[in-house]
Amino acid sequence: MQKCGDLGVDLLSLGFASASSLDFSLEKSPIYMMYYKRLLAAENRAEKSGHGMWADSNRGWVAHYWRRLGDRLGLAMLWRKMMQKAVQRHAVKVAKV
């Protein structure tokens, strides 16, 4: 039977993801902190090795398109959050009326 890996660690070590910031509400959980340290270590290895999003833009078309995709996803997520906030503000105004 083959052992399954950890998808989060695998994605981070390939440079296809980045670790989110520390959740301070879980900071006292030893299991959470152990896992979070594993994620950060995998991300650091990918960055030092120049994998995925950490690749030098001079290394070729894969790195170039990877960065463009990251930029677009970042802008799309920002836009979605801004629209959600606007809808929430509108809903509050309607509720007050």
pLDDT of residue 1: 44
Q: Categorise residue 52: left if φ over 0, alpha if ψ from -120 to 50, beta otherwise.
A: left
Query: What gap in Å lies between CA 42 and CA 37, rounded to an integer?
Result: 9
Enter the tokens of residue 75. 């802008």
pLDDT tens by residue, the chain, 97 residues: 445 678 888 888 888 888 888 888 888 999 999 999 999 999 999 888 888 878 776 655 566 666 666 666 666 676 677 677 777 776 666 666 5
Query: What gap in Å lies between CA 38 and CA 26, rounded to an integer?
Result: 15
For the chain, give every domain's residue range: 1-54, 59-97
